[in-house]
Amino acid sequence: MKFNYQIIIEYLGANLVGWQIQKKGKSVQGMVEKALSKTLKTNIKIIGSGRTDAGVNAWAQSANFFVTYEIKDIFKVLSSVNFYLNNYKISIIKIRKRKLNFHARHSARKRIYEYIILNRVAKPSIDYERSWLVKKKLNIKNMKKGISYLIGTHNFSAFRSSSCSAKSPIRTIESASIKKNKDKLIINFTSKSFLQKQVRSMVGCLKYVGEGKWYPKKINELINSKKREYCAPPAPAAGLYLKRIYY
C-alpha cells in the first residue's frame, strides 16, 4: 500500500544552493529528504512545487512524498523532522495526507511570489539577507503604472534567464501589486507558473522605473521586444519569497 503526503516548507535561502539537489552545497530538497528519511526510517524522495534559485526564500513552499505506511502521529513526525533540520534555516510547517493523484507541481493552480525592497539610506540589520536595499527614493506612482503592463498573458522572453528550460515563454500574470509599508515596498505577483528569474527580472525593471531611469511604458516596450539583452539586471535573490501555492 502507498500513501501520499504533502508538506509545507519555510526556509531562508541564504547559504543554500536553492531548492534542487546540486553536486556541491546544501539544497532545501536535499536537507528535507535527509530529515524525512531519518524520521520515517525509509528512503524518501520529495516532489517540489517548483525550483527556487540560490538565495531565494519561501514562506510556504509545497512538496509531496510517498511512503508505504500511514503516518499516525503527525505531531511526532513534525517534531522529529524539524529536530534534524535544526542547524538549517528550514522548517516543515505542516504535513497533511493527500490523495494518491496529488502532485505538488502539476496540481498547483496558481503561485504567489512576493518581493521586498527596503527603500532607505541605512543598511538593514534585522532584514539583512531578507530584502533588497535601494537607497535612492523610488517613485511608487510610476512603478504602479509600470507594473500594470505586466498583468495579462504575454511572451516574457525578455524576462527569462538564458538557462531557463521552459518550453514556452508565454505566461499569464493574473495579478500584480505594489504596496508601501513604512520604508518597505512589497511587490506581489500571481500566476500559475513563472519562468526562471522572471520575478526578479520584473522587479529589476520596476526599480529602474522607480529610479527614473525608465519611463513606465518602457516595460511594455520591453515585453514587445522579446529581447533579454534589453532587460534591467535582475533583483537580488535575498528579497524574493515564494509566498503561497493554491491547489
CATH number where 51 lies? 3.30.70.580
* Whether 148 and 219 share a structural domain: yes
Q: CB–CB of 34/90 below 8 Å?
A: no
Cα–Cα dist 210/181, whole Å: 16
Residues 6+ positions from 75 with CB-CB distance below 8 Å: none
Q: CB–CB of 55/16 below 8 Å?
A: yes
Residue at which a domain ends, from 65, 98, 131: 98
What pLDDT, in 10s, does the model give residues 8-17? Answer: 999 999 989 9
AA letter at 233: P
* Whether 75 and 147 share a structural domain: no
* Whether 127 and 237 share a structural domain: yes
* Whether 64 and 131 share a structural domain: no
* Whether 86 and 188 share a structural domain: no
Residue at which a domain ends, from 70, 98, 126: 98
What pLDDT, in 10s, does the model give residues 157-207? Answer: 999 998 888 999 999 999 999 999 999 999 999 999 999 999 999 999 999
* Whether 87 and 194 share a structural domain: no
The pLDDT assigned to 180 comes to: 95
Residue 105 lies in a domain: no
pTM of the full structure: 0.94
* Whether 94 and 115 share a structural domain: no
The pLDDT assigned to 1 comes to: 87
* Whether 92 and 120 share a structural domain: no
Ranges of residues in the chain with a pLDDT under 50 are none
Supply the range of the domain harboring residue 89: 3-98
Residue 104 lies in a domain: no
The pLDDT assigned to 44 comes to: 96
Residue at which a domain ends, from 71, 98, 125: 98
Q: How many domains does the chain have?
A: 2
* Whether 149 and 232 share a structural domain: yes
* Whether 68 and 138 share a structural domain: no
CATH number where 226 lies? 3.30.70.660
Our answer to whether residue 53 is catalytic in this structure is: yes
Residues 6+ positions from 201 with CB-CB distance below 8 Å: 158, 159, 160, 161, 231, 232, 234, 235
Residue 103 lies in a domain: no
If you ran DSSP here, which 8-state letter would residue 88 be given? T
Query: Which of 53, 73, 127, 183 is an active site residue?
Result: 53
